[in-house]
Chains A and B, each alone.
Chain A
Amino acid sequence: MAIYLDHAATTPLRAEVLEAMLPFLTEHYGNPSSIHGPGRRARQALDESREAVAGLIGAKPREIIFTSGATENDNLALAGMAWAASARGRHLVTTAVEHRAVLQTCAMLERHGFEVTYLPVDRYGQVDPTAVADAIGSHTTLVAIGYANNEVGTIQPIAAIGAICRAAGVTFYTDATQAAAWLPLDVDALQVDALGLAAHKVEGPKGVGALFVRQGTNLIPQHQGGSQERQRRAGTENVAGIVGLAEALRLARGDPEAMAAEVQRQRGLGERIRTRLAAIPDGEMTGALPVRLPNNVSWAFGGLEGGDLVTALDLEGVAASTGSACTSGSTEPSHVLTAMGVNADRIRGSLRLTMGRTTQLEDVETAAELVAVCVERVRGASSEIAPAGIPTPAGA
């Protein structure tokens, strides 16, 4: 059984969540838009889920749009809000370390004549709120900055940026996908106008998410063809998925004390791994402490390919990542580590370990030890001297 340390890519579906979903994959199959009984039953589940999700983030139910997940959230929020405000201005502000779903939507908007400012970050991956203030001009309509980075786990000063945006009268969107299980999400305290969540990062199902859009914030829908989600997201609702999303968020966030205790436990697990990794030569922690997701450990090693390390770990029974599930297989250097100024050799050797609720202390101890073993083995074979590492198999 593999030790799964890639919870930032996705998490296992929690048993209670599956149980909550099952009736909507079996007996309650109705379409929420139908007039009849089966339809009304589905509609009730949808309404209750919307209330539950809204309640967990301090929003009103009508401010929640159910979507297919984080990538759709980023597309819908950025393009939808940028176009809606385009008569007032066509300038957006974001950072150099956003998820590709944000950056590529920005690139698409640039092709349509929008101007985008990509703010730099410091060596820990943090953006300076005063830089946000300075970047906002008279034509700026939208600021989009992710709550916590998916590769290095660095947390951005969202409330401070929110206050700046509010004072300037600019809409502020934050992708809170990675933050959902760990950080405060009260949309008023954070002073955000839009916030995105995905179920599968909090032990919910894949393919479903929620986008909070504050009442009064205009949004042009990106799907046409139906009046669902108050005409902001056409398409028959993924009822079972939405029920699962609400249940997963409730289980993760419903009890603040339990959530705080789990955050503490995660910090302890992270510390345990970091202590072991720090003893490996030619490597460094990437990202910040303590302003990072409690379940994220990210590292950059010199003298190896991150892909080789992740492969070696996989074959040893540890599921890890080089940094982002969405960029694996390519050798494009991480734009996040590049923006943070990590040295080029070490960017190639990035490793991300992300824990979850079911991760145990012995898991991280075993995994950290295997990282040390695999780093040494992979480095030996990456050397330019050929091919001393090839042994002669006996009697083959």
Chain B
Amino acid sequence: MARIVAAMSGGVDSSVAAALLAGEAAAGGDEVVGVWMRTHPDRGERWEPRRGCCSTEAADDARRVAQQLGIPFYILNVEQEFGEQVIDAFADAYLAGTTPNPCQACNEHIKFDLLARRAVGAYGAQAVATGHYARIDQRDGRWRLLRAADRTKDQTYFLWNLDQRRLAATRFPLGEMTKTEVRALAAEQGLTTAATPESQEICFVPAGDYRALLAERRAYEGEPGAIVNESGERVGTHAGFAHYTVGQRRGLGLTAEVPHYVREIRPESNEVVVGTRDDLAMRGFVADARQFVAGDPPAERFEAEVRIRHRAEDVPCEVTLVGTDRMVVETAEPVWAPAPGQSAVLYRGEECLGGGRIART
């Protein structure tokens, strides 16, 4: 009998994913074990107005759901690894003038690597299941990563790092479901988490303000510097380059007649470059750390669609591989503000081909 580890965050999606697996187990399928990961220290007794997936309440909820499903439940402490590979990497990305992608990093390093390895050792399991909206199938002897049936919830943007070996050990039980169906199933089964609100913000950044985190983890307090325009003219003063991201409009304190946005961040000179909306429209970019789900790229030069942020539209593009880990992505129509550090994820129809990390140019 095989065993599957269900990663349970205390939210409704992972609860229903575990419930579906528990239902299969009851019908003679693989045994299920629920695991909640402690990713950073809980803040003790302090009442927290916003709940995230790392709060003690979330652990309590996950445990209650596991009890309701009649599956074993364990807490796995990953504070050290999450601290280094997600939180520190998040801070370092800002200090390098780029925009971090913590959910992708957590998937790559924690859920589908650390947990997958611990699943084999501690839990004797063959696979990790999560509540992500994505699908996996097999064609011509290879695993494929496909967009969720519910396109509005599709999370493949954060999963493009999954390679053949990881996909073989991964299950996405919600891939064919809509969010509405998930909520309905949770309610029908009376799961504690049926009405848990959607988590939107980054789980380790309270109230979305990451500046305190930069100070705490990297002693970065921010030093005022110049805001310059395309021609190099100083048009304002910023509070520290790492407090800005490409595409940001708020907080610049500019008085120009047309809205200006951050176009580029230059950590070396502590400069923030701004431009108008049109200035930020690009016909392409370079990405590094390229990786393909199939292992090999489709070709040295190929057509695909690219997505440059979670909620952005897919844009047809032509991809040309360069060197060992880079690729040039030329888009058929302009893409707005490709932000260094963010993922550029490649698709063909419903299939996610892989992706890369948008590079500073």
Contact = CB atoms under 8 A, between A and B. Distances in A.
Interface of A: 305, 307-309, 311-312, 314-316, 329-331, 377-383, 386-387, 389-393, 396
B2 interface: yes
B153 interface: no
Given A315-B124, A390-B168, A331 B117 contact: no
Given A391-B126, A391-B169, A392-B168, A315 B72 contact: yes
A305 B166 CA distance: 23
Given A307-B76, A329-B77, A389 B121 contact: yes
Nearest to A309: B122
B121 A378 contact: yes
15 contacts: A311-B74, A311-B122, A312-B122, A315-B123, A329-B38, A329-B77, A377-B120, A377-B121, A380-B120, A381-B117, A381-B119, A387-B117, A390-B168, A392-B169, A393-B169
B75 A380 contact: no
A307 to B, nearest CB: 7
Interface residues of B, number: 27
Contacts of A308: 118, 121-122
Contacts of A309: 122
Given A315-B33, A393-B126, 13 more contacts: A307-B77, A307-B122, A309-B122, A311-B122, A312-B121, A312-B122, A312-B124, A377-B124, A378-B122, A382-B117, A387-B116, A391-B168, A396-B168
Contacts of A382: 117-118, 121
A391 B119 CA distance: 12
* Chain B contact residues, majority secondary structure: mixed
Interface in B58-77: 72, 74-77
A378 B123 CA distance: 9
B59 to A, nearest CB: 9
A314 B74 CA distance: 10
A393 B2 contact: yes
A315 B118 CA distance: 14
A305 B121 CA distance: 10
Given A307-B77, A308-B118, A381-B121, A314 B72 contact: yes
A316 to B, nearest CB: 8
B113 A386 contact: yes
Nearest to A393: B126
Contact of B77 (A315, A330, A380, A392): A330
B79 interface: yes
A315 B75 CA distance: 14
Nearest to A376: B121
Contacts of A383: 117
A331 B79 contact: yes
B127 interface: yes
Contact of A390 (B77, B80, B120): B120
A54 B198 CA distance: 58
A349 B76 CA distance: 14
A6 to B, nearest CB: 15
B356 to A, nearest CB: 20
Given A308-B118, A329-B77, A331-B79, A393 B123 contact: no
Interface in B99-122: 113, 116-122
A378 to B, nearest CB: 4
A390 B79 contact: no
B122 A386 contact: no
Contacts of A377: 120-121, 124
B348 interface: no
B218 interface: no
B262 to A, nearest CB: 35
Interface string B121-143: 11110110000000000000000
